[in-house]
Amino acid sequence: MLYDFFLSLRRRQKRMIFLTTDLALMVVSFFLSRAIIVGHFNRTGFETDALVYLGVILPVGIVLTLHFGLHRVKLNSYQLRGVSQTAAIALGMAGAGMVLTAFGGGRVDTGTLVVFAMTFLILSSTTRVLARTILEAIYRRGQSRKRVLIYGAGQTGQQLAAALLTDHEVEPVGFIDDNVTLQSLKISGLHVFSPALIEDVVRKKGVERVVLAMPSAASTVKARIAQQMRAHGCEVHALPSFADLIQKDSDMLAKATVDMNELLGRNKLDEKLPGVTDSYRGHRILVTGAGGSIGSEICRQLLSCKPACILLLDHSELSLYNIERELRELCDDVEIHAILGSVGEATLIRHALNTHKIDVVLHTAAYKHVPIVEANIVEGMRNNVLGTKVIAEEARAAGVTRFTLVSSDKAVRPVSAMGSSKRLAELIVQDLATRSKDTRFSMVRFGNVLGSSGSVIPLFQEQIRRGGPVTLTHGDVTRYFMTVPEAVNLVLLAGTFSRGGDVFVLDMGDPVPIRKLARQVIENSGHSVRDKRNPDGDIEIRITGLRPGEKLHEELLIGSDMLTTPHPKILRAQEDHLSEIEMANVLSNLRKVIEARDDIGIQTLLERWIEGTENEATGTLAPAT
């Protein structure tokens, strides 16, 4: 088979074939040009003149071919640039012939040499294009190629079509574009159709995949088009501009469904926070809950700070394995150790801190899902409160320089067991800070983290994939949100501002209505909301009622007194805390009710000592400010 024979040739053999073919075409073109001028090949003395001219023209042609590397150009890459190089070779040979005529006494006229150049250009270019067409046809025979429709006939679409025309597995069959000036035209040999003809085009041309080549269009527009194309049975991908692929390292066939900053209604905060590299370079750091959403991101950001050691602690074997493997792949010059266990195991924590000479602790380990902790209040208090007590005391005893607790806005006037446990953890850290000489304790309090495990957006997206409904606990619920990188940057930065016992809060802008968030996720997924105003919509938003321990509106501050920090977006809260005797009394009683697994006793204790929890006993919510 011709194609198999050509594939079996070595690269050097292919180059020799191209070079020999061009050499033969130079000779043929020279004699053919004479026949075109005078009407026949033979003329007395022409044979002698031909040998003289070919003796000059052929070496020039070979030298120029080698110079341009035309014999090394692959057939599927021979396009406009290859044609222009062939034209330059033809002109060079014709010019050499004209010099011979003018100064060497040759008798071939200028007209013949001009026709020779044009003939060689046509024959050489046509030979390559024809060879490419034949070989591609032979290769594609019997192969199933995926038929692709390109949505968008602009620059990005045209570049994509040019790239796919030489692909052996994909066949572009046309463009779709709403620009009426482009419709009915042909671009790169492909018809441009109106969006109104999509259904007919997909059916008649057997389209299997649609590529959205419209990078400047709004995400909602692209999502709507994608949904429409999927309804016709097509696989849909979105393509950014080729400039973005280079400049922003975009993923060609992946586009985020939701713009987090658009949902938050503000600019990215992580761009406004200063770097923390110098504060962690060379330090030996323990991260608890290292396999969680916040803990794992802390570890990733710490790698760029070049610490001496990162000690990973988590009670989930799988999570610990995943983050350790990831960190080792990302960086091989930072000492990394993984410890499987709970923060409540004092001997384990003591051994880890002393063995690895830890000087910074970032404590993120906690049970955080409100309904789960509400239903398992004993274990929630054991882990979140007593676990924090153990690791904070062991950190102080080991002489750790900085200890940072990751807290939550649910700790402010809590109405849930989870929020109460986080507030008690804060009180423990505040109490130890008053009695610590060497360790600077601090807490970082922020709202919900978009993209973390159990956050609302993945839940909404899963509900949308199932066809809805999207569920809200209350139509008026609002929450503070931030992205995982923002939250982690705050944690790392706040630790460097600590003077002891600080509660740091980030200026997060206005709280986000969850109903608005749900509507935006639905629309960005290419669907419409089904409600009274739009009964024919795709996805319903259904209200299910507030869950136990859930507030309508979260808060970030217990009091109103705020102090500034070296960064304007980070504030230091001025809040009261329990005395040493009161704290000891709380912990003593808490241990007793935990060991007795007394849920009611725990609730009674929380109502006595934690501001806001008394409202839960009457079934009402703490007032939001």
Q: What is the dihedral of CA 260, 264, 267, 272, to 10 degrees?
A: -90
Give the global pTM: 0.57
Q: Report d(CA 580, CA 578) in Å as an integer.
A: 7
Over residues 181-202, mean pLDDT: 84
pLDDT score recorded for residue 126: 85
pLDDT score recorded for residue 219: 66
Ramachandran assignment for 509, one of left (phi > 0), alpha (psi -120 to 50 degrees), beta (any other): left
Q: Which residue has the higher pLDDT, 392 or 134?
A: 392
Q: Which residue has the higher pLDDT, 467 or 583?
A: 583
Over residues 335-345, mean pLDDT: 94
Q: Please answer whether residues 301 and 489 qualify as being in contact, where contact means their C-beta atoms are separated by less than 8 angstroms.
A: yes
511 pLDDT band (50/70/90 cuts)?
confident
116 pLDDT band (50/70/90 cuts)?
confident
Q: Report d(CA 30, CA 13) in Å as an integer.
A: 26
Instruction: Report phi then psi at 450, rounded to 5.
Output: -70, 130
Q: Which residue has the higher pLDDT, 273 or 140?
A: 140
Q: pLDDT for 479-499, tens place per residue? A: 767 777 777 887 888 778 877
The secondary structure of residue 315, as a DSSP letter, is S
Q: Report d(CA 54, CA 27) in Å as an integer.
A: 7
| Length of the chain, in residues | 625
Asked if residue 260 has pLDDT above 70, the reply is no
Least confident of 91-95, 183-187, 318-322: 183-187
Q: Strands (DSSP E) along 205-334, which ranges?
A: 209-212, 235-238, 284-288, 309-314
* Residues whose CB falls within 8 Å of the CB of residue 405, separated by 6 or more in sequence, listed in order: 363, 388, 392, 425, 426, 429, 441, 442, 443, 444
pLDDT score recorded for residue 597: 94
Instruction: Report phi then psi at 616, rounded to 5.
Output: -70, -30
Q: Which residue has the higher pLDDT, 531 or 590?
A: 590
Q: pLDDT for 123-178, tens place per residue? A: 888 887 787 777 666 665 655 678 888 888 888 888 888 777 766 677 888 898 88
Instruction: Report phi then psi at 413, rounded to 5.
Output: 40, 65
- Which of 138-142, 294-298, 453-457, 618-622 has maximum average pLDDT? 294-298
- Which of 4-18, 99-113, 380-394 has maximum average pLDDT? 380-394
- Which of 37-41, 248-252, 377-381, 492-496 has maximum average pLDDT? 377-381
Q: Please provide the average confidence, as pLDDT, over all residues in the chain.
A: 79
Q: Which residue has the higher pLDDT, 502 or 508?
A: 502
Residue-range domains of the chain with CATH = 2-140 (no CATH), 146-255 (3.40.50.720), 282-450+482-509+557-617 (3.40.50.720)
pLDDT score recorded for residue 568: 73
Asked if residue 309 has pLDDT above 90, the reply is yes
pLDDT score recorded for residue 274: 57
pLDDT score recorded for residue 421: 93
| Residue 311 parent element (H or E) | strand 309-314
Q: Which residue has the higher pLDDT, 315 or 500?
A: 315
Q: Work out the percent of the chain whose per-residue pLDDT is above 90.
A: 22
Over residues 446-475, mean pLDDT: 76
Over residues 284-293, mean pLDDT: 93
Asked if residue 246 has pLDDT above 80, the reply is no
pLDDT score recorded for residue 613: 55
Q: Which residue has the higher pLDDT, 326 or 450?
A: 326
Q: Which residue has the higher pLDDT, 520 or 376?
A: 376
Q: pLDDT for 542-559, tens place per residue? A: 888 877 656 676 665 555
242 pLDDT band (50/70/90 cuts)?
low
312 pLDDT band (50/70/90 cuts)?
very high
Least confident of 86-100, 253-267, 426-440: 253-267
376 pLDDT band (50/70/90 cuts)?
very high
Over residues 414-432, mean pLDDT: 91
pLDDT score recorded for residue 623: 32
Asked if residue 369 has pLDDT above 80, the reply is yes
Structure tokens at 194: 């109106």
The secondary structure of residue 361, as a DSSP letter, is E
